[in-house]
Structure 1
Amino acid sequence: MKRYLLLFSLYFISTGLFGQTIPKWKIDDVVKYYSKNNDTTYVINFWSTFCKPCIEEIPYLQSISKKYAAKKVKLMLVSLDIASFYPQKLKAFIKKYKFTAPVIWLNETNADFFCPAIDEKWSGAIPATIIVNNKKGYKQFYEEQFTPQQFEEALKTAL
């Protein structure tokens, strides 16, 4: 019995140490995620561990999205990091910076393919964010770093 208790305890300790699971998605999976016909407002942020402006804005994207969670706002962080960072270096980074929003890794290498799937004007620069509210027919793409005030205003417009 003690042996099972020990194994059970080690399992839960190890899952806590390694943090969230980071799924590997294709761009079609991302588009399908925010294209659901419901009353949720989706905030999809494209970022990378090597992008300083991305790392600076993620904490307030998380806190402001959480503030509006009752209004069905869902933030998802889409990592554009290179394949060698997936999953271990990415997990360590997320843990270090205490990300709380769901993170997925985009398993795509051709920006000429995946950028236009999000917005035809996207040059590939990051940070980039798309805010979608399908019930209102609202979809807006931003290829810039938000200030907290800019993000909250953009989110309020979508609600």
Structure 2
Amino acid sequence: MRYLSLTAISILLVSCSGSTGQRLEVVEFDALETLIEQDSEQIEVINFWATWCKPCIKEIPYFQELQETNEEVSVTLVSLDFADEFQNKVVPFVKEKGLTTDIILLDDLDYNSWIDKIDPSWSGAIPATLIINHKNGKRKFVEKELEEGEIESMIKEISD
């Protein structure tokens, strides 16, 4: 089956997130767009990745650590795996890695309709990361694998 039913997603969310409050769900682009455009006191770090992308997997611990150590930052990992792989690939990956960051699977295969809305310079390659300072309107986008400490430097850059 290509799409998960809302009931299946709701049951999955309850069983996977437990009491951590972790967001773990399949969404369409409008939900991601709401996250990008929200009015928030926190700096938003949004990373685009997939379970099949080795450079993506390598940098995920940096995002997890950032979420755990910086209360001024909100991290969301946006999986670009297929929606029908959510239960058998993404959820087991999240559990295996012990991830507590918010994770959404973007179920919108019409990449050309939303890639430019993330950043006009984005070719669509992953990993890619968007950092937004909602307070001052500054944004930083990178389309590459990040090294340890690089996220913090980018956050500092848009905080000045």
TM-score range, shorter chain: 0.7 to 0.9
TM-score (norm 1): 0.82
Matches within 5 A, 1:138-153: 138-153=138-153
Unaligned runs of 5+ residues in structure 1 are 1-13
Aligned residue number for residue 57 of structure 1: 59
Q: Answer yes or no: is the 8 Å Cα contact 2:131–2:139 preserved in 1.
A: yes
Q: Which deviations, in whole Å up to 9, do the C-alpha atoms of 1:78-115 show, x marking residues without a partner?
A: 10001220233211111112211010110110111121
Aligned residue number for residue 16 of structure 2: 19
- Pick one of 26, 31, 34 that aligns with 1:32: 34
Counterparts of 1:123 and 1:158 in 2: how far apart (Å)?
A: 22
Q: Name segments (4+ residues, structure 1) moved above 4 Å.
A: none
Matches within 5 A, 1:73-152: 73-152=73-152
Q: How many Å apart are 1:64 and its aligned residue? A: 2.3
TM-score (norm 2): 0.81
Q: Given the alignment of the two structures, is residue 45 of structure 1 paired with residue 42 of structure 2, yes or no?
A: no
Q: How many Å apart are 1:58 and its aligned residue? A: 0.7
Bigger Rg, structure 1 or 2: 1
Counterparts of 1:126 and 1:28 in 2: how far apart (Å)?
A: 20
Paired residues in the alignment total 143
